[in-house]
Structure 1
């Protein structure tokens, strides 16, 4: 039986200035999925993420985590944040210790682990994100890309059950973006759920098991990563473009090289392989 890690029912959030960021949003998130959250700026993606980590409390509606309704007392929130790690879009919102190693160590130390275990996890996380050489450097002297990698390492060291990542590759160059996505694939296990927001439709199309699209505080699509790009109305509503691999495949269908019944390739390698097979045939 598929387990839902989150059940969100009628979630509405109104800020103090009267703005509604989320509007009667209902959503279920299945455990073990790799989920890409898409939507235009102001769609409510970051606000939704902060609710999943308990940083914001709903104005109305409810959230269940592992079948239990989320409460907002200190004990419940501490337990939730041990299991649900969040990487903010702006790393300056997350980094506050004197140097890199201290910042990455903060979360694991608060989990009550033995000092040797903390050291092992921190060293591993620094190696995975390639920040070991920066371990003694003050965090305020880091570049944006370096800060992003340190923020990611801080969550990685805690080994959460759920990863929430708000625009994780923004500010990273091509090399570190690819390295980070490979890292997500490496840490993804059947009991690990990864939810990331991105404006990169190519990344979402290639990587995700499932895509969720938000617009104006609501979910307008939740499903497989291919079907959404057949819905011109939803793409227009959410200001989304089609991935280049999808567009190329559609062009090849129009040229009668492939048919609508052929499974859509998700990566450049899959597309090239299909073309090679077609040549042989």
Structure 2
């Protein structure tokens, strides 16, 4: 990956694909005030494809826009330059601020969002079906019962992390938020399938909890605690692998058995592979 920002445009490539600039004209509120933007807001598109998201933002009857869209293969399209206020947050509040558009860059990830079980698959609001390998069961931070969510791809997550890192190096970014946090009564994106806490740790604090240990780093802890509301267990270290039993509940302590990239084999009363984004490791005692 080799990205940079030049005159408020993201340039370079991710996964061998150049960033595309495809502006949605007349979909901004002019330049930011001095010292801004200092925030990034993460969204999902709640739609099937990159093309559908681009077309929505280019539709003159739709009063919405975003700075970036990240497709499921890591392709990135920029639609508003970073020096101008896009229309992605809507009615929103965070701490003493309201109207987060004036402060924040908006990043959309192509994702169907919340899904409904339908037979042996899962149905999006727009009619597309998704297989179990592309779905997690989890409790949203603004809800009380578990439901089903379209997963993000590794390419999307890594692209988002890298873009946020580049943004922080160019603008005074101090805060990364989900749309669900600034508009909790009406929005649920990016949802529990997106590792929002991990993104904040990586970009804002510089922690790289998913990095492979080196001689200078402490070896992985022997135990960890599940941080996701419900964490899927896979039969192999892959998001497309079959499920290995019921999900693990938040707060469950697990023993770390083996590592494969960002995946950890864990043991409770069974073994299976889980994604490292949803584990908080513990320092061994003694």
**TM-score of the superposed pair, with normalisation by structure 2:** 0.30
RCO (CA 8 Å, sep 6+): is it higher in 1 or 2? 1
Point out the structure with the larger strand share: 2
Point out the structure with the larger helix share: 1
